[in-house]
Structure 1
Amino acid sequence: MKKKGDLWLIGGLVLLIGIAFIFWALSRGGEGTMLVVLQDGREICRMDLARVETPYQMTLLEEPEKLVLEIERGRARVVEAACPDKLCERTGWLEKPMDQAVCLPQRVIVRIEGGRLDGVAQ
């Protein structure tokens, strides 16, 4: 037999879980999700992925260090890189904050920043 206090406790826990889920869903991306590309620790590109209207490819580095990104609304990926192992290409789509593709031979990091936590953490 449940007491009135037990029902309040269960209701409060359900409410807290619901609020936590909403904050988690909001922090996963959407408006303010930024694509950032660094080479040798210097930022060479930054763009808001929520503002991309049509998919396109962008060449960031020319030969011999060629690096081509495919960019769509809310996500991006490396489609061509002039490195021997192609790990950055095989990383796939970067969609959520903290997703990243790294090309060590070219000293390039392609990552997603965004959500509520990035502003505090930086």
Structure 2
Amino acid sequence: MIKKGDIILIVAVSAMVIAGIIGFNFYKNTHKDVKKIAVIKKDNKVIRTIDIDNVENPERITVEGKYTNIILVEKGRIRFENADCPDLVCVKTGWLSEKGDLAVCLPNQAIIKIEGETEEVDGITY
């Protein structure tokens, strides 16, 4: 049997969940960067930067080193498409499309990171 207190609890929890979803979506939509820049590094040196929102045609970039990485760039996203390193963790990472996304090929020391046009502080801890 549902009591009056149970109904109040269900309504209160539902309201908090809905408010959280609305708040998260509002924050995400109002804090979008104008540009998303993919930075490709090899041996901690920038070898290429790409504004992934302005890519018109898919492009493959080869990163040579101890191993070889093939990077695929499409409109709004980038990934390690293929690699000849032993573990293939970089390939299994999949598509990167949001600011802060990161994929690394440790054996070849290759990195892809999505950066925003401006660096913002996400939070401060004291």
Check whether TM > 0.5.
yes
Deviation beyond 4 Å, 4+ runs, structure 1? 17-20
- How many residues in Structure 1 have an aligned counterpart in Structure 2? 104
Structure 2 Cα separation of the partners of residues 104 and 63 of structure 1: 11
| SS at structure 2 position matched to 1:24 | helix
User: Which among 66, 69, 73 is matched to residue 67 of structure 1?
Assistant: 69
Structure 2, gaps ≥5 residues long: 1-18, 122-126
TM-score by length of 2: 0.68
1:120 is displaced (CA, Å) by 3.1
Structure 1 Cα separation of the partners of residues 120 and 59 of structure 2: 31
TM-score by length of 1: 0.70
Structure 1 residue aligned with 2:85: 83
Give aligned-pair identity as a percent.
32
Structure 1, gaps ≥5 residues long: 1-13
Amino acid at match of 1:65: Y
* Greater radius of gyration (CA): 2
Structure 2 residue aligned with 1:58: 61
User: Which among 99, 104, 107 is matched to residue 105 of structure 1?
Assistant: 107
1:43 is displaced (CA, Å) by 0.9
- Please provide the CA RMSD for this pair: 2.7
Change (3 A) 1:79 1:106: same
Structure 2 residue aligned with 1:4: none
Change (3 A) 1:52 1:97: same
1:84 is displaced (CA, Å) by 0.5
Comparing both structures, which one devotes a greater share of its residues to helix? 1
